[in-house]
Structure 1
Amino acid sequence: MLRAIKFNIRTKIAIGYFLILVCLGASILAVTDRIEALQTEVESITSRDVEIHNLIASIQYDAISMETAQRGFIITGDTSYLEPYDLGKSQWEANYNSLYAYISDNPSTQKALEEIKLSIQEWISKTAEPTIAMKKENRSADIIAFFQDDVGKQQMDSLRAKFDAVGNQEVQSTRLHIIDLENKNRILTIGIYVLLLAATIISLMIVSFVSGSIVKTIKQVVRTITEIASSGGDLGTRIKVNTNDEIKELGDATNRLLASLEAQSWIQAKVAEVATMNQGINDLGILARSFLTKVAPMINASYGVFYIRRGAGEQQRLEKLASYAGTGEEAGKESFRFGEGLVGQCALEKRVFLLNQPDQAPLITTGLVQLEPRSILMVPIEYEERLEAVIEFASLQSFTTQHLKLLEEIEQDFGIAVNNVAGRMEVERLLSESQVLTEELQMQQEEMRMTTEHLEEQYLVAEQKTKELEKAKEELEDYSEQLQKSSQYKTNFLANMSHELRTPLNSILILSQLLAENENQTLNDDEEGYAKVIHTSGTDLLKLIDDILDLSKIEAGKVVLTIDEVNLTEIPEMMKLTFNPVAEKKELAFIVDMADNLPDVWYTDGQRLQQILKNLLSNAFKFTEKGSVHLQIERAGDETLAISVTDTGIGIPMDKQKLIFEAFQQVDGNTNRLYGGTGLGLSITSEFVKLLGGYIKLNSSVGRGSCFTIYLPELSQERLDTIQLAMQESAAAAEQLGEIPVQEESGNETDSSRISENEQTSGSNFAGKKVLLVEDDARNVFALVQALESKKMQVTVAGNGRRCMDILEENTDFDLVLMDIMMPLMDGYETMREIRKLPQLQDMPIIALTAKAMKSDRDKCLEAGASDYISKPLQMDQLFSLMRVWLTKQVSH
């Protein structure tokens, strides 16, 4: 039982030290006990003797104090001398009793002390008390007579002699006690030496026992290790240690080291066997079968498959090359892609896969039974970090760490062998192919000699055809370039003509509006009607220009779509507000239906959607004389809207239904004459629907009406980018020949949106305001001067920027500047920059006027120093509102 308890070296040493300490402790306890006893005696004797001497001295002091006080009172008669007397009289007997108790063990001293007591009592009764009474009674003669004999002095002298005798006796008793203590101390010293000697002997015995136990075990281990070293390298020998301490742990560690060395030696021997097996093999199939046959028994594998890498790049696959203990088709899958299954994943990650207790594992077949493997192992074979093969093993037992280490060592060298064999096979294949090719080449050379003349004839014919194709290609390229130039010229023409048309149109609209307003009542009703017709015609002409520019922008790919949240619930009210007056005028029913499953918000370009709806509804009302116009919005899928505009109008023949979506086309000449219009609305609508990623369907019959249905998807940023890219690609040909100056959206709507309601009602009095108009076109100057002077404003005109600066240098007292952009000598941009350089004109309002409304122009105007911006042709209400805003700000400053 004691042998089962682990007594390590530290425990043994600790037990030895503990026993030594026990011995020392016992010795110390014995010595301490004797020292304490001796100390107690010393303290007892010392305190007793000191107390006895103190009490003797106290009694003697009390007696002397009483005598001194008695003589002082008799001499002086002062009663204060009696206080020490009374105090000594009351104390001496108490001290006497204490002293008598201390010397109870000394009869001779007690007898002497009793005589002292009798002497004190006799002195008090025969000397002290009678003389004090005499003095109190003033019997001086009796006192003198009493002291002539002086019996009291004799008594006190006798008392002192007795005190000395008692003191000497006590001193002698103390000396005897001291001698006794010295004897006991000498005996104690001898005892301490004896105890120390005994403790030393016992400690040496314990140390000898413990060290002997440790050394004996170590010698046993050394002897065993020496036997192992001298036994010819037999790593199977093991050290046996009977003790249960660190020496046993050393032996166990040595045994584990021997086991590890034995395993490593086994691994190295097996690796050498496999390496030897690889020599002289020039076929991968033989190499794979030899490898499986050799290695499978080493790791107790009952099943194995060898997969070799074939192909390169993304076409790489693992193909079965050989198997071990396989049964036909069940011997592993024929091939794997990288990453397919655990075999493919092993190839992809290039790491070992070990599965214990796998589910649905392939069965291992013997002659009698089919057994399910307990462990499956997949090992990648690499060469220079490139996968060469994957080997799979299955075993009825679990693979051990030793097996894994063996495969790891084999894998390092086997990859080289696989690569070398594959290389030799490739060299042999190439050599064989080279020989075949050489033979074929010789045959082909003979054939080529026979066909050279025929090829020369075909070459001449082919050369002639090549020249003809090149000529045709050049003609096509010239034609393509002419088409691109034609498209560019058309777009440039439309953009430039829009600019040229807007300039005179500006004055037409301004003057016709002034005439139509007829504020001075100088026109009769017919003339006022003429002016309104002129203004309406100018407005229609402006809309036509905008439609043409829309088509130009679409063709040039310059339309910018903006995704925003379109509130579908607002569309019915918006459309009714626009078209109810038209329906009432033509006595048509206008119906708007919204499906119940519509979302509240739809992501698309809201401005383009409104333009599409307005174009379709305008078209429907224009060609419908009786009946109704029906707008219906519903869902055509999770991410698609179906918007239908149905009318009961004239309808469209089947052969004209594609034609109407082309620019400047209507159903026929009669349609144009009866209903007017340019034929651009449906063309623009069709292009906008395409830009928004949708398409349009038409269902119509002559005399029964038409139904236009557009299908619009919900736009995401990704889809918008795709649409914009398609637009840019469609305009790529024109952009290669130079930038196309296509006009942007008109800025009038945004200008008017900047005017708030309170600005419309405050500061509306223009009378007396000084305006500097900078404009080079005489028609616009005339129209604007008439309009401004009708509001009682003082107008100064500058024909160009240079003249403007001359006027401002002479007089800066202007409330506002209207600045045209396109002018000779000095354009509007340069003029505004020069104005802003003058400190006194830093805050003067400048409103830029231009017939071109490109985004870049708007930004350039503001950067050049313009306070605001408005595009031509001008709408005077908007211009007056804008002027009112800046004149009001100027007044507030």
Structure 2
Amino acid sequence: MKGVNFSIHAKIITGYFTILICLVLSLLVVVNRMSALQNEVKFLSQHDIEVHDLANQIQKNVLDMETGIRGYALTGQEEYLEPYNEGNRRWLDNYNKLHSLLDENSSQQRNLEEMRPVIEHWVTNTGEFTINQKKAGNEAALAKYFKEQTGKKVTDQLRTQLDSFLGKEKQLTSKRTDDLLQNNNNLKIILYGIIILVTFITIATAFLLSNSIVKTIKQVVRTIQNITDSKVDLTTRISVKANDETRELAEAMNHLLSSLEKQHWVQKSMTDISTLYQGITDINELAQRVINKLAPLLEACYGVVYLRREQGGEVDFVKVAGYAVSDEAGVKPSFRFGEGLVGQAALDQRIFLIDRLPEDHMKVTSGLGTSSPRNLLVAPIIYQGRVEAVVEFAALKPFLSQHLTLLDLLQDKFGSSISNVLGRMEVERLLSESQVMTEELQAQSEELQAQSEELQMQQEQLKNVNEYLEEQKQFAEQRARDLKKAKDELEDYSRQLQLSSQYKTDFLANMSHELRTPLNSILILSQMLMENGGMDQDEIEEYARVVNTAGADLLRLIDDILDLSKIEAGKIEILTDEVNVTELPQMLKSLFDPVAAKKNVMFEVLTDANVPLVISTDGQRLQQILKNLLSNAFKFTEQGSVTVHIAVSPPEKAEQLHCGGPVLAISVADTGIGIPHDKQQIIFEAFQQVDGTTNRQYGGTGLGLSICREFTRLLGGALEVDSEVGKGSTFTLYIPSTRESEHELLTDPAPEQEMLTALKEVAASRAVEVVQEPLQDEAVADGDMIEAEHGTDDELFHGKKVLLVEDDGRNIYALVTALERKGITVQVAKNGKQAIDLLCDQADFDLIFMDIMMPVMGGYEAMKVIRDELGLHRLPIIALTAKAMKGERDKCIEAGASDYIMKPLNIEQLFSLMRVWLTEQVNTDE
């Protein structure tokens, strides 16, 4: 029926009820037919079988009597009469029972009645006669009787009648059996028909109901998909004719679209207004620009800005800008606190919204006439708890909720801009006054020098002037101190910029090394795999494994960079869903138990009993934070334990996070190296590390904790650290279980965005555009010439001894394999300190490959020690570096390198450099 709310639940119940009625009716029909069949079977199984049994029993009774008479007649013993007496007693009972069972069959009953006189005749004339004659001893009469076979004729007649009777009963039983089978077949046909009918009704009902439900849902889905595909048209609304839950779904979606449209309008308006603040140094200009932009957005036909003014210790608000306001409009120029709606809004620090203004309140004039606004909006602009300005708007139409939201969000930025512009204006005024005062002092000094005699006569006047000058001097000194303070602040800011630039440089150097190191292994091993000069399957598999590992490390680094870049650019989306807290321990154990076992570190995950089973947050980001924290914990823990403790935070933490629900506290504690107190905050910065130098002992990009902090902020939580050097660190993650919105985006990109963009380009491409130093190209050319002059590599390289100083296992494996294939003996040192120790014990190496960025002692320092302290000036040293920085070659040569090659290495270029320096060493020895 039209207008009736026939819900999906009611439709489904109706369908099931219809099917149930059909099933019940079918069941009743089937039960009725089965009852009839059961009655027929019962009659057949009880009546016919009993009839046959009784007829056979009568026949048996007659046979027993005949057998007993014969035995008695022959022997004369009384015991032979027992069958006769028993049969004589029972045959009549069986006869009567059989006669009563044949009430419905008169024909068989008559046949049975014809047998009774025959049995009675045999009992009287044969049975009793034989017994009497035997007892009397009249054997001759008995012999004569049996010889005439009078009794046998009677028994033969009786057998014939019984056989005929049983034959007819068998025919009747067979006929009843056939009827029963036919009824059973009829029941099957009826049952099949009922099943087909119920199936048809069920399918029809299901089709009709599902069509009525799915049709409307598909309409809603298509509409939502169209809205999603358009991505910009938030004014689209869903129209549904159904009067069930799908209408509620459509109305909820329309409400969501309206909310998104309002949010989009507010954000776009905020962006448009924010662009007005740039480059403005005059407060009147700022106010006029804002009111000119804001009034059309609020659909207001009138607007005024009142700015805070302080004079003589009194505060009032003065009109500085207006929208569509003429000088003759009678607008009041100023208000004190509590005076009028403007003063009251400033005093109460709240918005006044008034509708249904009287028509004579004010007039808005246009070329075609005048109109009376009916709605008034008065809002204070508050910054750091102080009212900086009050804005007033009048409109012909009512103000909407998004208008109030825009004004609420605008307060802080507009108030900050007012404060900044007033501050700049005050500085400019003070500087102008200082210049004027300086000029006045100079003029007064000249005047005093010219009128020295007059000043002596006017000593009292001079004293007054001196006092005035003293005051001016103190004021000037105060201004000088203020200027010095401003200068010091600028210098401090400059130092911070330099420090930030240094952090970025170190970060880029480290990142260049981290990216080029796995890339170097990939290029060398892939080139060797392409050549495949007689390698067996085990070597190929090991090369492929190292290439795969290096590629995975490279992908992980790029993912970290891209994650941070997305965070800084505001592209990370937070999707709130229910997260099962009970699954976290098992997930963390499965991920980090192998790491703990490999490092021989104990790993535990503890959960308090009062922890909620489910929280509402972004499960993917929560897991990413925990994985990063645990990866850091295991990386910096060589012995001891790593413990994760899941608990509920104290109530005051929920108040700090402005969360109404419980807050989950997840702490990750380790017994590692710890963090110095002065470094416990900078570790969360994207371009700063505890040890950001190229010689740091522990690898990594320094992005993990920065990503953790940003994800935590997006989830509405907090991340705290408590650490002591040498005793370990504890990172505590506070995650609220509810959020006010389904997803949230970062909106303020950090100033390092440009640096991260450049870094992504480095990570995303193998071919980094770096200017190759001439020495490498010359070395390649020289190497080719030397190969032509001195024969093949086998003759030049065979038996040579090379020291490889490298800390990355993949590069060691790739380089050692490539060099040993040339017949070169390679010895490996993991850092500069080990290399120096080896050279002190044995200095018979023909060449050294020196990596630059290594733990304990880096390549620069190691080369200086080899040249200066060990005195090995003739030993060729080829520097291997992944740093793509300008001037890197000069820096390596200055540190003591003979030559320089950049990662990722070109193996042929490497061999060419070796030919140059090995040949030069041979020539020098000769």
User: TM-score under structure 1 normalisation?
Assistant: 0.38
TM-score, normalized by length of structure 2? 0.37
Structure index of larger Rg: 1
